[in-house]
Chains A and B, each alone.
Chain A
Amino acid sequence: MRRTVFLASLLVMGLGGIVAEPRSFVTSAQEKAASTAEVKIDNFVFGPAAIIVPVGATVTWINRDDIPHTVVSTEKVFKSKVLDTDEKFSYTFTKAGEYPYFCSIHPKMTGKVVVQ
C-alpha cells in the first residue's frame, strides 16, 4: 500500500512537472519577446510607427526599402548611420519615456518608441 502511494505520488509529481515545464518555457519566451522589438522600414514608412517596450528592451530597425534611410532620435538620444537595404540598427532603452525619431534623409518619416 505504502509503495502504491509512493508510486502514485511520483506519477503526480511527474505529470505536474510535464505540465509546469511548458508554462515556464512560454513565460521565458514571452519575456524574451518583450525585451526585443523590431521596426521594419519599408516604402518610406516605419512599421509599426509606434511601439511600446519595457525598460531594458532592445529595438532593432531593419531597412527593407530599396533606398537608404536613417533612424535619428528627435531628442538626440540615438542616431544610426545610413542604413542601406537589409542593414540593421539596434538601440537598448534603459530609461522609461517617449522617444520620437525620424529619418534624416526623409524627415516626413517619423516613429515613436514608448518605454514603460
Chain B
Amino acid sequence: MNPFDVKTALLARHAQHVVLIHFPLALFIAGVVFDFLAEKTRKRGLREAAYYNLLGAAIFALPAVITGILAWQFQLEGQKLKGILLMHLVLGSTSAMLIWVAWALHVRARRQLPEGLPVFRLVLETAAVAIIGFTGHLGGFLSGVNGPS
C-alpha cells in the first residue's frame, strides 16, 4: 500500500476513524489546558485560545463520530456489539456529547460575558478528558497499536 496514493488513503478500509479521531482529542485537551490557565491567570488571550481549541474539537468530533459509526456499519455490518467494542462505542458517544456541551458553555458565555462561564465547566471538562483518555486507550487497543508491526 502506497501511503502517498490519495485514492488508496481515502478508500483504505476502516482507516478514516483512526486518523480523524486524533484531531478532537488533541484540540479538546489543549482547549481544557488553556481554559484552566485562563481561569487561573484571567488572561483574555488564554480564554480565546481555549475557545478556539474547543471549537475545533467540537467540529472535528462530528466526522470522528460519523466515521466510527460507519466503520461499525460497514466493517462489522452493524452487528450487536459487546465487550471492548461496546464500551468504546458508549464511551466515545459520551465523549462527543461532553465535548459539545463544554463548547456550548463557552459559546453561551462568549455571547454574554466572560464571567458568565460557570465554574462547574472545569469539573465537566476534567471528567471529559478522563473519559476521552480512556476511550482513546480502548480505541488504540482495538486498532492494534500494541500488536506486531
Contacts and interface: CB of A to CB of B under 8 A. Distances in A.
B118 interface: no
A106 B148 contact: no
A63 B141 CA distance: 16
Contact of A105 (B76, B83, B148): B76
A84 B76 contact: no
Residue among A45, A82, A107 with most chain B CB within 10 A: A82
Interface residues of A, number: 15
User: Which size bracket describes the interface of B in this complex?
Assistant: 10 to 19
Interface in B100-149: 141-144, 147-148
B83 A68 contact: yes
Contacts of B26: none
A105 B144 CA distance: 9
Given A68-B85, A81-B79, A82-B81, A104 B14 contact: yes
A82 B81 CA distance: 8
A71 to B, nearest CB: 12
Contacts of A109: 144
A28 B9 CA distance: 51
Interface of B: 13-14, 75-76, 79, 81-85, 141-144, 147-148
